[in-house]
Copies of this chain bind each other. A is one copy, B any other.
Amino acid sequence: MRTVNVPLGLRSYDIQIGSGLLAGLGKACGRLKLGHHCAVISDTNVAPYYGTRVCRSLNDAGFETRLITVPAGETAKSLKTVAACYDQLATHRLERKSFIVALGGGVVGDLAGFVAATYLRGVAFVQIPTTLLAQVDSSVGGKVGVNLKAGKNLVGAFYQPRLVICDLDTLRSLPEREYRSGLAEVIKYGIIYDAALFAGLERHLPSVLKRDPQTLKEVIARCCQIKAEIVGKDETESGLRAILNFGHTIGHGLEAISHYGKYLHGEAISIGQVAAAMLSSKLMGLSLEENERISRLFRQAGLPTQVKLNHAQCTRLLSAIQLDKKVADGQLRFVLARRLGEVEFGRSVPAPMLEEVLATMDGKPAHKAGRNHHALHGRS
């Protein structure tokens, strides 16, 4: 087992990464000195696999446990599901010292975390992320929340868990597409913070794709460490933390205009990161060679790097991006890369340049023959 500490003063907590950790959950919770009651929030995909095992581990450690199952999928990340959870917590009489265990992927973690942050003005919260994406990203750092019709994650809080348990065994049951989607966040850490991690992923991609436990343990621990370091310096995203949003402005927009249906999150931010890399070449001097390495790694990981938008879709995408939280004073703000491992946040991008880049990403020859277009087209 590897342990990564997220350094947040009184709100610090550990992330445990390893195989066979679910069995020790109850004892781990016992060490946190929480109340006697807890609710496990899971979804209809994950609960059948691990619900019983998780509840048994908690019961064996003396906790009174209720399992709350929500529908699987991004549409469950809504105020409606939040309200249904509140009602069940009230029925089960959870108290201030009770705690909530999130068992599932990013949707369950974000949803259950928001419920924990707001029920009785906040109860303790333990995360068991069961997808690669949740293990390396959404379970670390305390961002919780739900979607509105108007956009993703428009409602939420910063609320830290007391413990995160990443059991690698839970990744075995993950569908291939979900697993690859998680790799989009893994690759992101290389781009924004650690060129050596990026190079390691290029080298060891086959064993990563085979889900080799030894490789995974190291990769996941490194990703958690990077995120912990960033979050430890900037818990509430007043500055540095924003670099974690590399590729997310466009990614969230794509998810929003397809009503969270067409793309998995990792697929949307794969396209978003390729677009952000192109903007980086235009505005920050990111070399064409590194730009090419970025899109190649996403492609080799089986992730989409192209998007075909008609005029109406493009307009809706720009409008969704305007609504995104990363807009300040009406200006589009992006995280852009200077080189692999080094990014800058808050870069203003003119809307026409964004449209231009999106137009080159449709897999067809570019209409304009500008130098960058041509070069980018040659490599896409």
Residues of A within 8 A of B (CB): 35-36, 79, 82-83, 86-87, 90-91, 93, 95-97, 114, 117-122, 143, 145, 148-151, 153-158, 236-237, 322-323, 325, 327-329
Q: A120-B325, A121-B143, A145-B121 are in contact. Are A154 and B96 (CB under 8 A)?
A: no
Q: A90-B150, A149-B87 are in contact. Are A328 and B158 (CB under 8 A)?
A: no
Q: Closest Cβ of chain B: how far from A264's Cβ, in Å?
A: 23
Q: A79-B79, A150-B87, A154-B90 are in contact. Are A329 and B121 (CB under 8 A)?
A: no
Q: A79-B79, A145-B121 are in contact. Are A154 and B86 (CB under 8 A)?
A: yes
Q: Closest Cβ of chain B: how far from A256's Cβ, in Å?
A: 11
Q: A118-B118, A145-B121, A150-B87 are in contact. Are A93 and B157 (CB under 8 A)?
A: no
Q: Which residues of B contact A87 (CB under 8 A)?
A: 148-150
Can you list 7 A-B contacts (CB < 8 A)?
A79-B79, A79-B82, A79-B83, A79-B86, A93-B323, A97-B328, A97-B329
Q: Which residues of B contact A156 (CB under 8 A)?
A: 118, 120-121
B86 near A148 with CB under 8 A, answer: yes
> How many of these chains are in the complex?
2
Q: Which residues of B contact A323 (CB under 8 A)?
A: 90, 93
B154 near A95 with CB under 8 A, answer: no
A151 near B96 with CB under 8 A, answer: no
Q: Which residues of B contact A158 (CB under 8 A)?
A: 121-122
Q: Closest Cβ of chain B: how far from A231's Cβ, in Å?
A: 13
A119 near B155 with CB under 8 A, answer: yes
B145 near A325 with CB under 8 A, answer: no
* Whole-angstrom CA separation of A148 from B85 in the bound complex: 11
Q: Closest Cβ of chain B: how far from A372's Cβ, in Å?
A: 30
Q: A117-B157, A121-B145 are in contact. Are A328 and B151 (CB under 8 A)?
A: no
Of B91, B121, B143, B155, which one neighbours A150 at CB under 8 angstroms? B91
* Whole-angstrom CA separation of A150 from B93 in the bound complex: 10
Q: Which residues of B contact A327 (CB under 8 A)?
A: 95
Closest to A322 in B: B93
Q: A121-B156, A154-B119, A158-B122 are in contact. Are A325 and B96 (CB under 8 A)?
A: yes
Q: Which residues of B contact A325 (CB under 8 A)?
A: 95-96, 120-121
Given contacts A87-B149, A90-B323, A95-B328, 5 further A-B contacts (CB under 8 A): A35-B329, A97-B328, A120-B155, A121-B153, A122-B158
B157 near A118 with CB under 8 A, answer: yes
